[in-house]
Amino acid sequence: MELSDVQVYTLLLISLIPGFLAIKLGKELYK
């Protein structure tokens, strides 16, 4: 299964955004 560049970047964004939000939320909670 070949992935195009757009699909790769989309998957990266989908996997990174929840982690980024979790870190941001954690920093807000544990000031």
Give me the residue label for tokens 């990266």. Answer: 12
9-22 pLDDT, tens digit each: 999 999 999 999 99
Q: 17 lies in which domain range?
A: 1-31
Can you read off the two tokens belonging to residue 20? 């980024």
Alpha-helical (H) ranges within the chain are 5-29
Strand, coil or helix: what is 3? coil
Q: Is the sign of the CA dihedral 4, 11, 16, 21 positive or negative?
A: positive
Q: How many domains does the chain have?
A: 1
What's the pTM? 0.50
Residue 3 confidence (pLDDT): 80
Asked if residue 31 has pLDDT above 80, the reply is no
What's residue 2's pLDDT? 86
Q: Which pair of tokens denotes residue 5? A: 């560049």
